[in-house]
Amino acid sequence: MRAFYKPVLLTSGYDIADADLDLDGCWKGEPEPSYLWTKESFGKAIEYAKRDKQEAVLYLASDRAAYLIPVTPDLTEDNVEIKAAAGFIGYFSETNEAEAKKQESYTYHPGTHRYYVVRSKADSLFY
């Protein structure tokens, strides 16, 4: 999961054995499990997202640039970077619990007890 780090954050009822990392999240104000997938396993992530009628996936580039990609029938691992380019929404940044829970969407890593949100470049000190 290092080298060229391009994870994909997905939510919903995925088989945790298939995900690269199990997280907690909140999407549009609703708490839900989230999973981090590397680019190498993105094909499986797309398969699950389509199966579960996932609205979108959060795609994170190596510089933590965050892209919201709608899950559409034509989404594949071959065109994800093209789709991502149109969906830039900010930078995936660490924050504290209180600030994260003020947001409509956030991610929590229970192993490190860290919270993350997507912020605009102007709002991110370290992006």
pTM, two decimal places:
0.71
Token readout for 48 is 């699950």
pLDDT at residue 2 is higher than 50? no
pLDDT at residue 85 is higher than 70? yes
Q: Is 23 exposed, middle or buried (0-12, 13-18, 19+ CB in 10 A)?
A: buried
pLDDT tens track for 5-33? 344 554 443 343 445 566 788 888 888 77
Q: What is the pLDDT of residue 27?
A: 82
Q: What is the pLDDT of residue 124?
A: 52
pLDDT tens track for 112-124? 888 999 998 656 5
- CA-angle at 1, arms to 37 and 35, nearest 5°: 25
